[in-house]
Amino acid sequence: MPHLLLEYTKNLNLLDEQEVLLRLNKALFGSGQFDEIDIKARAVALDDFVIGVTPAGRAFVHAKLSLSSGRSPEVKRDLSSALLQELRSIFSGPSNHHIQLCAEIIDIDRDSYAKDMIAPSS
């Protein structure tokens, strides 16, 4: 834990998904809430989307961070703010699109979440 899912509209032509995910992971690690190895991130480019009723020239980036339940509202607010700040930095340059940036925190029930790790052979 945590799991970060970054969804973005393909019209943004996000060139380097790996770099964006790495920057978001660093922001999460910098929060002090997670061990570095536990942060898992992936990106999904959306081919089909509609924003409002005039989709031309519009785009969005939505970061969903799934966490084990139990963190305070303040910690969750700090995490969503850190993600949003990093997204603003990434998409701060000139754009041909009106871009909406979102960050969402989702609680995962600790009692039903299962995890195991397999270490590399030495």
Local confidence band at 25 (pLDDT 50, 70, 90 cut-offs): very high
- Which CATH class name applies to 3-108? alpha beta
The pLDDT value recorded for residue 91 is 87
State what percent of residues in the chain have pLDDT above 90: 74
Pairing of strands 3-9, 58-68: antiparallel
Answer whether residue 105 shows pLDDT above 90.
yes
Local confidence band at 55 (pLDDT 50, 70, 90 cut-offs): low
* 79-101 average pLDDT score: 92
Q: Where are the domains of the chain?
A: 3-108
Answer whether residue 94 shows pLDDT above 80.
no
